[in-house]
Chain A
């Protein structure tokens, strides 16, 4: 029990993923600034933002709508993100949970933050938030099937094993899955799914600042917005580490391999940030056809290639 609480709250759990995610969020902002030839924020900027929102600012409740759900939604978002983080990071740090089938649980837990944003936005009673949450719903509908196909491909590749620990062990014994044609195709698809899950440009229409002024987050202020920022930081760390676990043979924690583990995560965040900075925001219809037609097509081609052993 004490060990489980430690797992959840301190080491691969809340504290660790929040701090790492905040540093990665600084990295993302700094790279964006350098791409635009700017100086960029200081290293501790995400921490200043978080503590300012949590400690200094006032939390305003919506007059129309449901204050209880509005307050609980960010808590659920942080809970879901942390839980998914624990399930992803325990196998990555070579701690076997003995839970066969955790990949599917991770898949469901990763959608909890998005669903919490939707419920929180709808509970605020703001029309722009309703527009944003309907867009977020459509986005979930479009990328979830694609992400499930990617996971199916990974399961096929490692011989019908459903748990992350044996997927990582299979890759460390053999070669990483990204080293084959089907692996590269699946990695591209998964990268776009992660981009959409993080709601980064080109898939940031739920929170489009220019047209619907913050979208799903428009009514959140103070401590509630701090928790939403925290869940965003956590997602920015755990989704790239899930990709590392699925495609790049996870972390090896001895000697020089620690450096490689850090570089793998930073490399994927760098890729996501560069995609974010070199693309415009697309319409929700374009995003749906992008995932439902093109990404699904690539994923199915990859599945066929896996079935023929490439």
Chain B
């Protein structure tokens, strides 16, 4: 188990699910992959297909339409998959908690492994969250 777990931790491929986001979190996530922060140092890659993913990043408030898609994406992912909720909307619902289209924060819909709060979280905060996730898994 040690070797498998080590390889898994060393090569996390990330799939990005954007709910009804205001795009600030999307931009901060992309910032993590830019030369200044460079997540590829830790073997983290952004992949295009959920079938290749190890981490599902969810940001933005999840409304009624997003809920079905999020569940479908989660079921399509090969297990084991880690789910990270990014931003105030992903963690708690933030500004949109009272809204009539809001379908609950991410952890009401799928199991979440890590929360990275902030509106939007800085790239440093996202990297700190990923490091904590890697250490705990």
Contact = CB atoms under 8 A, between A and B. Distances in A.
Given A37-B35, A48-B11, A56-B8, A42 B51 contact: no
Contacts, number: 86
A219 B11 CA distance: 19
Contact of A217 (B8, B10, B49): B49
Interface stretch (B38-46, B94-102, B116-124, B125-133): B38-46
A39 interface: yes
Nearest to B76: A60
A49 B43 contact: yes
Contacts of B135: none
A3 B11 CA distance: 37
| Interface size grouping (class) on chain B | 20 to 34
B40 A41 contact: yes
Contacts of B111: none
A57 interface: yes
Given A37-B35, A39-B41, A221 B4 contact: no
Nearest to A60: B78
Among B7, B35, B43, B47, the most chain A Cβ lie within 10 Å of the Cβ of B7
B7 A52 contact: yes
B10 A45 contact: yes
Interface in B60-106: 76, 78-80
A57 B78 contact: yes
Interface residues of A, number: 33
A210 interface: yes
B51 A41 contact: no
A285 to B, nearest CB: 23
B51 A45 contact: no
Given A57-B54, A57-B78, A218-B51, A42 B7 contact: no
A39 B8 CA distance: 21
Contact of B49 (A38, A58, A214): A214
B7 A51 contact: yes
Interface string A76-114: 000000000000000000000000000000000000000
Nearest to B53: A221
B78 A59 contact: yes
A48 B40 contact: no
Interface in A25-41: 29, 33, 36-41
Nearest to B37: A38
Interface in A101-159: none
A56 B4 contact: yes
Contacts of A214: 47-49, 51-52
Given A48-B10, A55-B7, A210-B48, A38 B40 contact: yes
A38 B38 CA distance: 6
Contacts of B54: 52, 57
A166 interface: no
A33 B40 CA distance: 9
B11 A49 contact: yes
Contacts of A39: 38, 40-41
B103 to A, nearest CB: 25
Contacts of B6: 48
B75 to A, nearest CB: 10
Contacts of A65: none
B7 A48 contact: yes
Contacts of B52: 214, 217, 220-221, 225
Given A56-B4, A214-B51, 20 more contacts: A38-B38, A39-B40, A41-B40, A45-B43, A47-B7, A48-B6, A48-B10, A51-B3, A52-B11, A56-B8, A59-B78, A60-B76, A209-B47, A213-B49, A217-B49, A217-B52, A218-B48, A218-B49, A220-B51, A221-B78
20 contacts: A38-B38, A39-B41, A40-B40, A41-B40, A41-B41, A41-B43, A42-B10, A48-B10, A51-B3, A52-B8, A52-B11, A56-B5, A56-B80, A57-B78, A57-B79, A213-B49, A214-B52, A219-B49, A221-B51, A225-B51
